[in-house]
Every structure is written in C-alpha cells, then in structure tokens.
Amino acid sequence: MRPPAVKEVRVVVREVRRGGGDRGAGTLWVVAFMAVIWVGGVAAMTVGGVRAARHRGDAAADLAALAGAAHVAEGRAAACRWAREIAGASGARLERCTVRGEVVDVRVVVRVRGPGEIGDVRIVSRARAGPVGDMGVT
C-alpha cells in the first residue's frame, strides 16, 4: 500500500486595517454620555431642592400667619413676634408682617444654595390668616 499523496497548503494571513483613525472613539462616546447623565442628575437634584424649599416656605408662611392671627388680640408687635418665631423655627425668615384689624399678612423667605454659578436662590412665600369672612377677599 502506498501512502496517500500529501498536498502542501499555504495560508496567507493579511493584516486588515479599517478606518485607522477610529481607535479610542468608543471611550470618547462613553465619557460624553457620562457627562450628559451627570448634568441631568445635577439639574434634577437642583429642581428637587428648589421644590422642597418652596413647600417648606409655603408651610412656614401658613404657620406664621396662623400664629400671628392667634395672637392678634395682644397687639401688632406680639402678633408679628409670634409670626417671626414660628417662621424661624420652620427654616424661613420673616420678611414682612402686616396686621390690618384681625387679619395678619406675612411674607417669608427661604434661601436655597444652587450649584456652581447659580448661587443662592431666594424663594418668597406669602400667607394671610384671620377670622372667616374678614379676609378682604372680593
């Protein structure tokens, strides 16, 4: 018996280069995407912080007006002193307190620190309290 004939096989490997300038482009896309996600997260946290401060300011104004109205019989100074104390305890600063008859009108300010160049944001809330039917609403 004869051994089968052996054929010589040559394999040629060629280096194929595609778009030689694309090396590292995926990294740039990932970094850009991460930056967009980061900016979106900072914006969402800022909006959430401002909304929470707005609610805190509204609640502080309501409570301050009610406290002032509860003590309006003691005089304007006492009513506004109580309103200032309650607003401060609620995390706000009483900016204006007006007493007309038995109606107390207050304006409080809450400050929120924004990121970067935005700086401090000043949120103003107002409220009025007094006897029913004497609110001066027309």
Domains in the chain: boundaries: 48-129
User: pLDDT digits over 38-68, tens only?
Assistant: 999 988 988 898 899 999 999 999 999 999 9
> With contact defined as beta carbons under 8 Å apart, do 104 and 130 qualify?
yes
3-class SS at 114? coil
Prediction pTM value: 0.68
CA distance 85 to 136: 25
84 Cβ partners below 8 Å, 6+ apart?
A: 64, 94, 97
Summarize pLDDT for 80-91 with one digit per residue, the tens: 999 999 999 999
Going by CATH, does the domain composed of 48-129 fall within 3.30.1300? yes
